[in-house]
Structure 1
Amino acid sequence: MTEAPAVEARSAVKEFGQGETAVRALDTVSVAIRKGEFFTLLGPSGCGKTTLLRLIAGFDSTTSGAILIDGEDVSELPPNRRPVNTVFQSYALFPHLTVAQNVAFGLEMLGRPKGEVAARTAEMLALVKLDQLAGRKTSQLSGGQQQRVALARALAPRPKVLLLDEPLSALDLKLRKEMQGELKRLQLETGITFVFVTHDQEEALTMSDRIGVMSGGRILQIGTPREIYAHPTNRFVADFIGETNFLSARVRGGKAVFGGGVEVPLSRPAADGDVTIAIRPEHMRLVPQGMAGALSGTVSHAIYFGTDSHVHLKLIDGTEIVVRQQTDPDGSGGPKPGAVLGVSFPPAAVQVLED
């Protein structure tokens, strides 16, 4: 018998308002999140990711469809009867209580015995490496330390699922990167299913087992970080995740035919016809003009980033692209504006988009 997903949305719809003025924030979303995985809902503001998280938590109810947790339909259950906990962007800590008291608060509200509360609080503080600060007020902590307290408090009751609503967005860049590693460590050590909401593609790529990319209230693609980045299925996903060059081509007999008649064999089958091609800048390289299988372009400018440079070119059909190349160790600065060069790329780099 197949194990039930940790979380499942079945044709979930959420509308705010009624009649002609109703706004559909979630549009027939179906997704199954596996037990013990770090699953990220990724997308821009207003895409529906937080709405889906709130439906799972029970803070909002579905207009239609169902939410299941561990195989049980919880659509009608209030938040306090669902085996989930939520970490919010604001942390929602009690500033007048100590670190230990904040972590113990949820367990005490559940009526757990004092001995269990004390033991579990100590265990959670050790897990998030704050056991030395147990007696300090949360108002005296740094942002990263407050984040850890919020995580410890949410994990203390041993929820089946931990929901995280952009919990790192208030932190500075360096601390945010540190906390990315900490979140992944906590998920691996506890084995709890994490459902993480973010608009930050780097957070999604570095922490997730799988990612669901959302737009317009729908999930457009689900896959591992590598699948989402290397094989986007549509233009939105390709454009939202990383930098991408979009080129027009015609598929003919298993090959992509570009402007100027350049043909490149496709590594994946695609139907004949006019298509949009996505190629990542790091998969392109500059070669001498006229090289077989290379497109021709004129350099407009180059931007130096230290470790690498982004060379901007205009192809003969007017398409503007970017080629990312490592900085020359001799400091020569790369190609100059006006230079006419070839642009080559391996067939595996060519992604034919659905739309």
Structure 2
Amino acid sequence: MIEIGNTTKVFGSGETAFTALRDVNATIQGNEFFTLLGPSGCGKTTLLRLIAGFEPPTMGSIKLGGRDISRLPPNQRPVNTVFQNYALFPHMSVAQNIAFGLEMLGKPKSEIQSTTDEMLRLVQMEELKDRRTSEISGGQQQRVALARALAPHPEVLLLDEPLSALDLKLRKEMQIELKRLQNETGITFVFVTHDQEEALTMSDRIAVMNAGEILQVGSPREIYERPSQRFVANFIGESNFLDADLKGGTVTLADGSTFSVDVPEGVADGHVNVLVRPEHTSARAGEPGEGEIAATIDTIVYSGEATTVHLRLASGEPLKSRMGNTPQGSTDLPGEGGNVAVTIAPGAITVLRD
């Protein structure tokens, strides 16, 4: 659906020039929920604005359905955008807000009415269609903004952090709702967020960005379980990073423990950084046996569904271990300073490229 080719965006010129995007390449499929994920200032919103037509690329191309749209104005692109502040008309009703864009396009009244009714059903707002948008909740306003953007049946819907103003519980509900809308409409969604949970919950694929570049593109599971480099691993979820020596598909940790690993293409034998997710480890009281690692407890944190144990390995490296709680309680562990044996699940060690 969308092809982004060698795209660079520079703001300003001379000594004040700032490169927001640097030689970005990406392909977004039709009927895909594609998320641009990264910290503030990484270039994700700039890339969204280039797709929308609000900014032209300095170099490179943006194609939609095989057609180069890099220089087309926004109103000539089959694309709609949902902004962070929704930009609704407070003096208009819900139905009038949804119909507004269709009226501006000069659609027949019968089509406007039928499409508005269709969108109201889609976002489950039929009962509030005559209510002014200034009189409804933030979550309901977000649904109206979505319905208005979907009404012209765009080929692509761009969403610029539309859930950031909602409270936590409502944000989680709307994550599921957005994915449902994307499935029902079959429209390609391109979603911008800095929230890793949003990205993992909704996306078919995620592009992790930093400093104007796309570092890795993959499914949520690929991004989380097999990050390509340390930045991606650190940005997505909680991480343990350990020093190790790699030789022939085996890593040796600082305490001498050895583990078989998959070696990423381009990584040579020698000193490497490895990733271990906290939930892929467990700890028990006592001295380590075969395949276990010795550690001491720094802190134990209970968080309801899980207990996170902050450990210190013999090498001095910190390690977090997260274990699910049961109705009978969490694993019986000694207090701070106590000795434990740590187990790392098979296949849970990921060798990073940097």
Report the TM range for the smaller structure's normalisation: over 0.9
Alpha-carbon RMSD: 1.2
Any unmatched runs of 5+ in structure 1?
1-5
**How far has the Cα of 1:262 moved from its partner?**
1.1
Q: Which moved more, 1:267-276 or 1:218-227?
A: 267-276
Q: Which residue of 1 aligns with 2:127?
A: 132
1:254 partner letter:
G
Could you tell me the TM-score, scaled by structure 1's length? 0.96
Q: Deviations over 1:193-228 (max 9, x none)?
A: 000000111100010000000110111010000110
Q: In 1, Cα distance between the equivalents of 2:2 and 2:139?
A: 28
2:150 to 143, 150, 155: 155
* Alpha-carbon contact 2:288-2:342 (below 8 Å) kept: no
Out of 280, 302, 307, the position equivalent to 1:283 is 280
1:354 alignment partner in structure 2: 353
What is the aligned partner in structure 1 of residue 224 from structure 2? 229
Deviation at residue 328 of structure 1 after TM alignment = 5.6
Instruction: Give CA deviations for 1:84-138 in whole Å, capped at 9, x if unaligned.
Output: 0000000000011111111011001011111111111111111101111111111
TM-score normalized by the length of structure 2:
0.96
Give the Å deviation of 1:293: 2.1
Q: Percent identity?
A: 59
One-letter amino acid matched to 1:305: S
Match of 1:3 in 2: none
SS in 1 for 2:63: strand
C-alpha contact 2:262 2:351 (8 A) present in aligned 1: no
- Answer yes or no: is 1:57 the counterpart of 2:52: yes
Q: Tell me by how many angstroms 1:267 deviates.
A: 3.9
Q: How does 1:85-164 map to 2 (within 5 A)?
A: 85-164=80-159
CA deviation vs aligned residue, 1:255-297 (integer Å, no higher than 9, x gap): 1001121111114465311000000000011144231122221
Superposition map of 1:198-347 within 5 A:
198-268=193-263, 271-287=268-284, 288-327=286-325, 329-331=327-329, 334-347=333-346
Shift of 1:250: 0.3
Does the residue aligned with 1:291 lie in a helix, a strand or coil? Answer: coil
What residue identity is the alignment partner of 2:268? Answer: A
User: In the alignment, is the contact (CA less than 8 A) between 2:246 and 2:270 conserved in 1?
Assistant: yes
Q: Please report how far the alpha carbon of residue 342 of structure 1 lies from its aligned counterpart in structure 2 after TM superposition.
A: 1.9
Q: What SS does the corresponding residue of 2:347 show, helix, strand or coil? A: helix
Matched residue SS, 1:290? coil
Q: Distance in 1 between matches of 2:293 and 2:233?
A: 21
Does structure 2 retain, via aligned residues, the 8 Å contact 1:294–1:344? yes
Q: Which amino acid letter does the alignment assign opposite residue 90 of structure 1?
A: N
Report the more deviating stretch, 147-156 or 252-261: 252-261
d(CA) in 2 for partners of 1:338 and 1:309? Answer: 17
SS of 2:223's equivalent? helix
CA distance in 1, matches of 2:314, 2:297: 11
Between the aligned partners of 2:346 and 2:128, the Cα distance in structure 1 is: 55
Identify unmatched segments of 5+ residues in structure 2.
Answer: none
**Distance in 1 between residues matched to 2:324 and 2:78, nearest whole Å:** 49
Structure 2 residue 24 is the aligned partner of structure 1 residue 24: no
Alpha carbons 1:16, 1:22 under 8 Å: kept: yes
